[in-house]
Amino acid sequence: MTVSSKRPEQVAWVALILSLVFFGVAFFLGRWSGFHAVSAVGWQSLAAAFIWLVLAIQFHQRGLAEQEKLDMTQLAREKSSATIFQKGETAAMLAAAQRRVEILEKWFIPAFGALIAAYEIGIGVYLLKTIPRTGDVHTQQPLVCAIVATAIAFVGFLMSRYATGMSAEPRWKPLRAGGSFFLGVAVVCFVLAISLALVHFQISSLLKVISYIVPILLVVLGAETALNIVFDIYRPRLKGQYSRAAFDSRLLGVINEPGGIFRSVAAAMDYQFGFQVSQTWFYKLLEKAIVPLVLFSVATLYLASCIVVVGPNEEGIVERFGKPTTGDGQVRHIGPGLHLKLPWPMDIAYMYPTQQVMDLHIGYVPKIDPNGAVVQEMKLLWGQTHYEKEHDLLVAADYTPAEVGESPAEGAVPVSLVKVNMPVQYRIKDLRAYIYGHSDPAKLLEDICYRELVRLASTANVEVDSARSSSEDNLFGSGRTKAKQILTDRIQKAADEQGLGIELVFVGLQGIHPPPEVAQDYQGVVGAVQAKQALVLDAEAERNRGLSTLAGSVSRAYRLAELAARYQEAQRTGASDEVKRLGEQFDAALLNEARGEIFRILSEAQSYRFGKATLAEATGKRFAGQIQAYRAAPEIYKCEQRAVVLEDALRSIRKYVVASDPNDREVIIIDLQDKLPTDLLRGVVGGQESSG
């Protein structure tokens, strides 16, 4: 066997053994430690073992073919001593190895590529399906796994560079497939080692990403291999030109040989422009300096992560290894300006707009214009939709369907549906509490707002009935101002209890209205309730007017009615002492507290009683005086009384008094038809004139 075929075959066998060792170590280490990503790297190493196995077989057959050529050359030297039949038989035997190489590279290697593609896709899908959930698997010893992954990455990287370097020889180009795949294993193991080291510091986000990256990479490589097989079927084959195997990944080749990209670009430019662009000094300088330039750019970008720029309305917290503390245990809180920190991922800065007022839309979803701004609606009518979507809210009603002329449904409760639009504005006052107190503080604040809004609505109402409720609880009236203050206090108190670290700036009840589709019916109900309230108020006014007329005021009337009811109850039960006490108290109340019509009637009764009593007393005293007068002079008293009686009896009868001498025979004629004068003096004067 020649040296040219022996070396790549030995490299392939050594790489195959290393791949199997990597597979065994990673697979069992992953099962023992519980890290799914470590086991996934083991399955990736097994895919590399399949590639190295194909390469070992290929270079072994090539070595046999080269040995065959040497034997044919030796045979040509000895052809003079051989017969014609011996010469033909020997040549046929020696050409068999070359035919096996041709059949292997034409048929079996593509078939092996198809098997490798099926394995990569199948194992990739399997690994994706078996990724455990967080907390379902107990893990242990992440640092041990990180050390093993680092060792695999180091050995794989060295083997990859060695095989890739040997592939620069045209006869050893197939080694590039194994070198590229080994480099992929090395890169994955290196990143896996970093992620396992971060797990030791309670940072598991990168490891979760690696658990998905390895299976996805296997699926992508398997799909690429399958496409390469299809393309190879239609690609023309030139004799003597190297035919790249399907499992020789072009994607991994970009990482393994970045200069190959420039050579391909240079070849395309040579073809397009008609001169050797790849031979110019600029291209040669760029080809030599591209790796340092890329490394310098990557290093510069990485070191740029040490600079933190905090905006004028922002504040930030710097986490070191996933914890918001520095070495002295203090929280590193940064304000506006430029700040320095350790590079990523050791230090990570999180900025939040602490001075910016943030909005929450409670009870509705606003309309958003194409620029992402909230469209402000100016509609004020109940029958129109105000926003993109409005939520229903149950509130207490102060009436039943029977009170407004409707037949109540079975099981119906006095509630109403309304739309409530409550914008909430807040800002961050305690950044650490806001970040680390809860996973989603904005969502928790929204839930608190909805809870307090529903709580308030359960005790408020949307109708004003003076007989049972107050306008201070009416969300459609003056109660909105009180409700706003109550909501602000309750939401702020609940947020402080939860440790949200926010400060409410504004809580508004800018839109409270019934659903637009029932606005007309809702107004009808409101009108019926208001008509009922008007009747009730009129009745109350009439009652107050009547009571005020009787007792002077409503309170006095109720006081007298209460005393009368207690007095009647005492009479009914037969409590004589209580009857006497309440009677005296009732009489005193009538005399001292009664006003109005009762006072007038009582006053007239008292006046009438006083007159009657005084008249009876006077009559008695006059009778006693008459008795004394009679006893003193009976005849005179009788004559006086007879005169009084005649005076009273003859008061309305015409009387004529004629004074004459009994012996006088004068005839007096009286005209009884003349009208008598009422004036005594005139009558006397007239009598004298008539007599004269």
Banded model confidence at residue 690, pLDDT cuts 50, 70, 90: very low
Banded model confidence at residue 542, pLDDT cuts 50, 70, 90: confident
**Cα distance between residue 309 and residue 312, in whole Å:** 10
Banded model confidence at residue 618, pLDDT cuts 50, 70, 90: confident
Given a cut of 80, is residue 373 above it in pLDDT?
Answer: no
Between 186 and 89, name the one with better pLDDT. Answer: 186
pLDDT of residue 193: 86
Banded model confidence at residue 634, pLDDT cuts 50, 70, 90: confident
Banded model confidence at residue 461, pLDDT cuts 50, 70, 90: low
- Percent pLDDT > 90 in the chain is 0
Banded model confidence at residue 180, pLDDT cuts 50, 70, 90: confident
**Shortest CA distance to 485 belongs to which of 514, 465, 511, 456?**
456
Residue 416 main-chain phi, psi, to 5 deg: -135, 155
Contact 218, 127 (CB under 8 A): yes
**Cα distance between residue 32 and residue 142, in whole Å:** 11
Least confident of 2-6, 132-136, 220-224, 454-458: 2-6
pLDDT of residue 625: 84
Between 565 and 620, name the one with better pLDDT. Answer: 620
Given a cut of 70, is residue 93 above it in pLDDT?
Answer: no
Highest mean pLDDT among 124-138, 146-160, 534-548: 146-160
Banded model confidence at residue 265, pLDDT cuts 50, 70, 90: low
Query: 290-346: per-residue pLDDT in tens?
Result: 667 777 778 888 788 888 888 888 888 888 777 776 555 566 777 888 888 888 777
Query: 493-540: per-residue pLDDT in tens?
Result: 888 888 888 888 888 877 777 777 776 777 776 677 778 888 888 888
Q: Which CATH number fits domain 361-530: 3.40.50.300, 3.40.50.720, 3.10.310.70, 3.30.479.30?
A: 3.30.479.30
Domain boundaries, the chain: 3-256, 307-352, 361-530
pLDDT of residue 404: 45
**Cα distance between residue 10 and residue 22, in whole Å:** 18
Given a cut of 80, is residue 49 above it in pLDDT?
Answer: yes
pLDDT of residue 110: 82
Banded model confidence at residue 263, pLDDT cuts 50, 70, 90: low
Average pLDDT, the chain: 75
Torsion of CA 132, 135, 137, 143, to 10 degrees: 110
Query: 141-173: per-residue pLDDT in tens?
Result: 888 888 888 888 888 888 888 888 887 777 788
Tokens found for residue 277: 């662009």
pLDDT of residue 686: 46
**Shortest CA distance to 425 belongs to which of 413, 403, 442, 447?**
442
